[in-house]
Amino acid sequence: MRVIWTVLTVVTLAACSSTPTQEQSPAGVEDRQPSATQPGAQTQPVQRPPVAGVDLTTGKTPARTVLTDPASILSKRSIYYDLDKYDIKDEYKSLVEAHARYLRDNRTTRMLIQGNTDERGSREYNLALGQRRSEGVKRMLLLLGATEAQVEAVSLGEEKPKAAGSNEAAWAQNRRSDMLYGGEY
């Protein structure tokens, strides 16, 4: 049995090794392209094509894209609600429509919608209200062309306030849904 394992190991290792091969042109075909080592040959650096918004010289995404450009509607990510409400106000419908178009045109892009509430109410009530808020945004995105695989809706309840304080100004900022794209959460 030991001999079989030794033979199998040697055969496997031999199969993994390779010898360098030299490219040969087909018989009768002469390569007339000047090489970089021939006199008079000109060389130029290879221009790499852009790939999905990534700067290939640094490997990083550009600092300002359509999603982060303050002049773009897509940089706006929060939808605000009235007390104990989860319906999307008319003033935010164009915002959701713009994000739906972006998701429809970029099928590999993912979004997480976080439903938030102010501190008033029980923890259970706020989690349920936050979920209804995020699900409402998700439903509208799906109706406008995003796919189920692209959008996830969760509730954070009162756990992630945008503004500190126990007053109407703070509560108004905390009653919201935030739309986050993949890489932001």
pLDDT tens track for 104-150:
999 999 999 999 999 999 999 999 999 999 999 999 999 999 999 99
Would you place residue 50 in the very low, low, confident or very high pLDDT band (cuts 50, 70, 90)? very low
**Number of domains into which the chain is organized:** 1
Domain hosting 93: range is 73-181
Would you place residue 99 in the very low, low, confident or very high pLDDT band (cuts 50, 70, 90)? very high
Q: Is residue 16 part of a domain?
A: no
**Average model confidence (pLDDT) for the chain?**
82
Strand pairing partners for 80? 176
- Residue 125 maps to which CATH number? 3.30.1330.60
